[in-house]
Structure 1
Amino acid sequence: MNKSKKMLVSVAVLAALTASTGAVQVQAASILRTVGTHPVSRPLSTVEDLRAMMQDMSGDIQAGMSAAGNADLFPLVQAHIAQYPQTQIAIVDYLPGQQIDWMLFRRYGKGRVKVARDVTWGGNAPLSVFEFMIDKDGQRYTFAVPLQCGNLALKESVPAPMPVQIVQQQAPVIQQVIKEVPVPGPTVYVPQEVIKQVQVPVPGPTVYVDRPVVREVVRQVPVPGPTVYVPKEVIKYVDRPVQVTGPTVYVPKEVIKYVDKPVVKEVVKEVVKEVPGPERVIHVPGPTRTVVKRVTVPGPTRTVVKQVVKEVQGAAAQCCESPFHFIADVGYLRQPEEADYGLGRLGVEYVINPHFSFLALAGGAAKISGDAGADAFLLDLMVQYNFYQCTSAHGATWSPFFLGLGVGSWMTNGEDEVPSEDSQADYIAEIGLRIFGAPASTSAAIFVEGRVGTDELDDMDKYGRIGGGLRFRF
């Protein structure tokens, strides 16, 4: 295989991995943590801004709703917004955890409008949106437009409420009665007798008031940080019995947990409720000291209800942290076919979620010693997985270990006919240990890496390269 054919194989392998990595990113995008990165329009503040957006970008929005499968609703949405204030449009807040059927977006605000389905709002603060409802063919469609980006979304589709039928009561009929009264002489007709009309109040139609649905979402968020030990009260036991009376008094305790970032202060408040029970703690004065004793006495004990109040300080509440980070590697590679290399790479890391990230690195492997091999230029693409440590009684933290898999290009000016010097596409695997820092912050780690050519798997013991080094993340 000549050098040009090997380069084509390398490019094809890199393109296949890049496409698969992109698929992972799209799948993970079902949780929306920030808005404004991929806007359809500029931020909106009033209904007039919303009306102007529907007029200026009607073609793009119609194409996006057609891709979402709701093209028949576009004229109704456009007419509903145009007829405001005769129609209802409200500003509501969606709490984290709110489900959305689909949402329109434009990648980085450019190009054609696309559709993201089954979206969940996962930000750290409520999402403010314009919300309105449209009824069609027995279904009620609830639409939302975030104020920060103008991305039209379908929140949900439910059966429309059945209309209330108004039953009108017929008015009483006025009857005319003629009485014939026999009297001497000619027949006399008495004037008509009128039956009074009675008005009966009829209940009016039922009025439905649209109210925003507020869902309380409770999430347990793991906070990285050191292990926290809560001090316990030391109780000394004395054998002599003591008779006491009166209620038990418990002093509330304040427990402060220290974490790295963000700084979270948890205040544990104890609410005391007296209930029947056998034990309590008292202080008994002695001649030269105060002895703390636990005794059994008749009377109430307590039920403690703990209320945890979290105070987030600093910039921890910000939801606009960049997913990109700079990476720098320095290390050493060893080739069994008598070659040693000094490794150096620079690149970027894109954080898909706290567990997965994508690394793109470029650099070189400079030959230090040996009878084989040649200097090489490196272009590596990898997916990194951060392990998570299970929760315990003292909280939960990230594991320091991570794993990476990917492919790369090993490009040299050596002889193509010499396996240890030719250019090729490599498979890459590595495992690392973070020596300080966390996956979401600046860190340093040591790693062990092995790489082998895609066409040299059978000769891995000769031409494979293994080594390690330091990785710095900024």
Structure 2
Amino acid sequence: MRINSIRGICLLVILMLTGITGMAQAETKLKQLGLNPFYETELKSIDEFRQMVAETLPELKKGFEKAGAADLFDNFVAQAGRHDNVVVVEINPGEKLQWMIFKKGKTVRVVKDVVWDGKEPFTAFVLNVDKEGTRYTFVVPGKCGNVSLAMTRPVPAIVQESVPNIAPYCEIAVTPSTLASGKDLTIDASQSTDPDGSIESVVIQVTAADNSVVRKKFDTPPFIHQMTMSEPGDYTVQVSVTDDKGMESSSPKCEATKITVTSTEKTVMATAPGNFVADAGYMYQVDPAEYLLFRIGYDYYLNDSFSILGMVGAAPVIDGKDDTDSYMIDLTGIFHHQRMYYSAGVGFWHSTTDDRVDLIVNAGYRFYGEADQFNISMFVEGRGAFDQLDELNDYGRIGAGLRFQF
């Protein structure tokens, strides 16, 4: 009899435990929204949703704590403030929520394992919060503002889409187009570009009239090469570039550039024997006078290294009292060496206070354009009267300016 009683008690305990477990695992079926709203006013836009979050921060934080998700609160608030992370969706009957925050009177409560058991879908705001490799998806019904956790899952891996390599763009400048044998040809590929990377190497190919080929590869920027042309004749210059992913390209601007190398006995001249020149600059004299400098003239080439420059101009005084507005006629001989030039000559300087015959020295550097094209250089100049060379500290004039050749 005693054994039967013990068995009965044990069976009763097992049945009670089973019932309690079943109750703990039971789902809460939600058939209607708005009976216990977290927020009294219906939310009809994302801006109103964001306003609700901002107005209810203390109650909302308490709800996250009761749901065991206090560590997600700050992330949720931050993501709710972003327009691009909040969307409006329809939640269908049968959708499950892990937990939902609501209010009973003024008390914040949380219910877990909720299933929407209404007859129609409801409109909700949905946003994702990513934390430590997990994505938490929150659902907030517009009807009541009850913040709910719908699901958790790993953050999706970012798939890198393969992007096709774009061919590099080749561009060169070959100067000069005509030169004497023994002189240097400059091949400048520094303006070549690669839209999705960088230029890794440049190959220069120079083909002579007899089809003999000189081919050189360069792996170091800025890809500017000077090549001494020894033999007279006609040549073709071609360039190809390779990008950092190994793609080679030779655009139309890098194909079949023609050059001519003449014998050393022939003088390399432009189609005209010289260039028109204009100077603009500033000049200073210690015994006080400051001038603006304006000159025009013609530079006549004797050969590719020497020329004679004749100029006329004016030098209006802008400060000082030792001189008045002046006019000049200058004649100088110029030695050209690559982009530098050096000159010396004589000039006549006229003002109302004095007429002077000057010794002139000048040096400049061509920083834009080529010798047989429009170009710009920067020059410095010193000049002084022959009869005042022992007083250069007082009456010598020094200046600088820009020279334009046309």
Q: TM-score when scaled to structure 1?
A: 0.33
Question: Which structure: larger Rg?
Answer: 2
Flag the structure with more relative contact order, 1 or 2, with Cα contacts below 8 A and sequence separation at least 6.
Answer: 1
Q: TM-score when scaled to structure 2?
A: 0.39
